[in-house]
Structure 1
């Protein structure tokens, strides 16, 4: 038996307070978003943490790539002054350095935001579970 306020809501929801077969429109026809029990939308911090790890790896890899690219071009200008190919090579180097710097900077800003989202999601879940615990007690208890 549920607390009176919850029982009223369940009664309004349908005969005997049975769980409806509602789902999110974005969940897809195959029951995406439902767990094996068939009624609860589930989520996890794992995708957010994985994305943060990928952002960190990209941040590190772009810094390494930029350093290698710059190092590989060091000294290339010696003895090639005035050649059109050297001007083109320098232009390409500058362009790639800008791109790699932009990716490095973006990933550096994105990683902590993704980690914070994963953490906050867990905190919200715990808070909601704690707040709803008082309503899961049988009628007459915990009210």
Structure 2
């Protein structure tokens, strides 16, 4: 949400009956940037699962049946599930943020069209 300053410098509140100095404008930019960030985080986590698998392959083949390695495998599986869940959450969050931007744009347009009969600041009266 951005406050856009009109003709004045924005340092003083509107005076008298003329409330045309400031207008509230919404932008989908922050929503879309946040969605992009969630997508980037999801993509950044993608190779981590494979890196865990590769790192543990050498340990498991060289150490036989040590109990500690069985525990290590359980921990690795737990981390793989967590990473997968985090990726899913990031994807879901990105979708919801984009949907919020879309809905906000529709709301802005509905509000704008509902005020078509209202005199706009700076327009000559007809």
For each residue in 1:44-65, what CA deviation from the matched residue of structure 2 results, as whole angstroms up to 9, or x when unmatched?
2111001110111111112221
Q: Is the 8 A contact 2:35 2:95 kept in 1?
A: yes
Q: Larger relative CO (CA 8 A, sep 6+): 1 or 2?
A: 1
Aligned residue-pair number: 109
Task: Report runs of 4+ in structure 1 exceeding 6 Å deviation.
Answer: none
TM-score, length of structure 1 as denominator length: 0.63
SS of the aligned residue for 2:115 comes to helix
Q: Which residue of 2 aligns with 1:59?
A: 42
Q: Indicate whether 1:102 and 2:71 are aligned.
A: no
Q: Which runs of 5+ in 1 are unaligned?
A: 1-31
Task: Work out which of the residue numbers 63, 74, 90 in structure 2 matches 1:91.
Answer: 74
Q: Cα offset for 1:132?
A: 0.6
Q: Which residue of 1 aligns with 2:28?
A: 45
Q: Which runs of 5+ in 2 are unaligned?
A: 11-21
Tell me the distance in 2 between the aligned counterparts of 1:33 and 1:105.
Answer: 31
Q: Which residue of 1 aligns with 2:117?
A: 134
SS of the aligned residue for 1:77 comes to helix
As a proportion of its length, which structure holds more strand? 2
Task: Work out which of the residue numbers 53, 56, 73 in structure 2 matches 1:73.
Answer: 56
For each residue in 1:109-136, what CA deviation from the matched residue of structure 2 results, as whole angstroms up to 9, or x when unmatched?
1211111111221222122112212222
CA root-mean-square deviation: 2.4
For each residue in 1:60-88, what CA deviation from the matched residue of structure 2 results, as whole angstroms up to 9, or x when unmatched?
11222112222222243113223233123
